[in-house]
Amino acid sequence: MQLGLIGLGRMGQIVADRCLDAGHDVVAFDLDEDAVAAAADAGAEPADSVADLATQLAATDGPSCVWLMVPAGPAVDAALDDLESHLDGDDVVVDGGNSYYEDSVRRAEACPAAYLDCGTSGGPAGAELGFSLMVGGPAWAYEALEPVFDAVATGPDGHARMGPSGAGHYVKMVHNGVEYALMQAYGEGFELLHEGRYDLDLEAVAGVWNNGAVIRSWLLELCEEAFREEGTALGDVADRIEGGSTGTWTVQEGLEQEVPVPLIYTALAERFGSRADEGRFSRRLANRLRYGFGRHEVQRRS
């Protein structure tokens, strides 16, 4: 198949490489000329604009298929605005980024082509392994793109249609909420081991847990890698966690559906709390209130 690919960053470059390796033709565009040049070196046809990409796709027989791998939000709308006049109902657009599922439903309704919202999991490790793909949208469009999904995913078992428009990004949103909670659980356990009674080598702990333990996982392998590369006390790694949009959406959805998601909420709140420049206000107030009701000594900043 031929695939137009817009966005050639950490994830888009992997989509390009895996499609090329599988024998598909790729026409590649990114705002970053160096990224386009790198894709061209790998075997893709370079495009110098979205319009150029669409024109190259239209020059070959059959419907056009375009994969967006750009940051969620305005970049997706900008690419779709530029594509719109080049698309018709036989064409297929895939958004493989972390878009909010309601945005994907809106875009699917407005897009002249069939629109697939595709949650993508696996990160840069997907270059070797392939990704896990959660796809929403029309069944015919999903089936038409199966050769591309086979190439980008771990294989035929690494992708599935979750349901109508929005369902793919909805499932990926919840996946990320689970990711937050798992990271929080591992973080708490290793913090207790680090602060606790024994002088432990946390790389060794993670290593033995990863060999047969109930809690083994890829995230735990990444914990092991972090302790190996940063040291058991994590060296100069700061206590500040960025990101947060997908976790926020997951918590909001939990509230709207009246489904309790306390672990995911706690993990999200830890992220927000980590960003206070001078410590958490709530913890400082609790410190002062303990003096108020119990005359416990107030801990002062040095």
Ligand X SMILES: NC(=O)C1=CN([C@@H]2O[C@H](COP(=O)(O)OP(=O)(O)OC[C@H]3O[C@@H](n4cnc5c(N)ncnc54)[C@H](O)[C@@H]3O)[C@@H](O)[C@H]2O)C=CC1
Interface residue list for ligand X (CB under 6 A): 6-12, 29-32, 35, 69-72, 75, 78-79, 97-98, 120, 123
Asked whether 64 and 83 are in contact (CB, 8 A), the reply is no
Catalytic residue among 45, 179, 203, 224: 179
Residue 299 DSSP code: P
Under the criterion CB under 6 A, does residue 244 sit at the interface with ligand 5RP? yes
Residue 27 neighbours by CB under 8 Å, 6+ apart? 2, 3, 4, 5, 44, 45, 46, 47, 53, 56, 57
277/147 Cα distance (integer angstroms): 49
Q: Which residues pair with 5 in a beta bridge?
A: 28, 67
243 contacts ligand 5RP (rule: CB under 6 A)? yes
Judged by beta carbon distances under 5 to 8 A according to partner kind, the member of ligand 5RP, ligand X, none in contact with residue 12 is ligand X
Residue 274, SS3 per DSSP = coil
Pick one of 55, 75, 103, 121: the residue that binds ligand 5RP (CB under 6 A): 121
Contact (CB, 8 A) for 8 and 32? yes
Question: Does 271 appear as a known binding residue?
Answer: yes
Question: Is residue 270 annotated as part of the catalytic site, yes or no?
Answer: no
Amino acid code (one letter) for 16: A
**Residue with Cβ nearer ligand 5RP (114 or 267):** 267
179 is catalytic: yes
User: Is 8 part of any known ligand binding site?
Assistant: yes
Among 91, 117, 150, 179, binds ligand 5RP (CB under 6 A): 179
Q: Does 13 bind ligand 5RP (CB under 6 A)?
A: no
- For ligand 5RP, which stretch binds (CB under 6 A), given 101-109, 152-160, 228-236, 245-253? 245-253
176 binds ligand 5RP (CB under 6 A): yes
Whole-Å CA distances, 97 to 72, 129, 138, 245, 250: 6, 18, 18, 13, 16
> Which of 66, 61, 63 has the alpha carbon at shortest distance from 47?
66
- Smaller CB distance to ligand 5RP: residue 98 or 104? 98
Give the whole-angstrom CA distance, residue 199 versus residue 193. 8
Sign for the CA dihedral angle at 185, 186, 192, 195 comes to negative
Nearest distance from residue 81's CB to ligand X, in Å? 9
Report the nearest approach of ligand 5RP to the CB of residue 120 (Å): 7
Task: Name the residue nearer to ligand 5RP (CB basis): 176 or 184.
Answer: 176
For ligand 5RP, the binding residues (CB under 6 A) are 98, 121, 123, 176, 179, 243-247
Name the binding residues for substrate. Answer: 98, 121-123, 175-176, 180, 271
Active centre residues (catalytic) = 172, 179
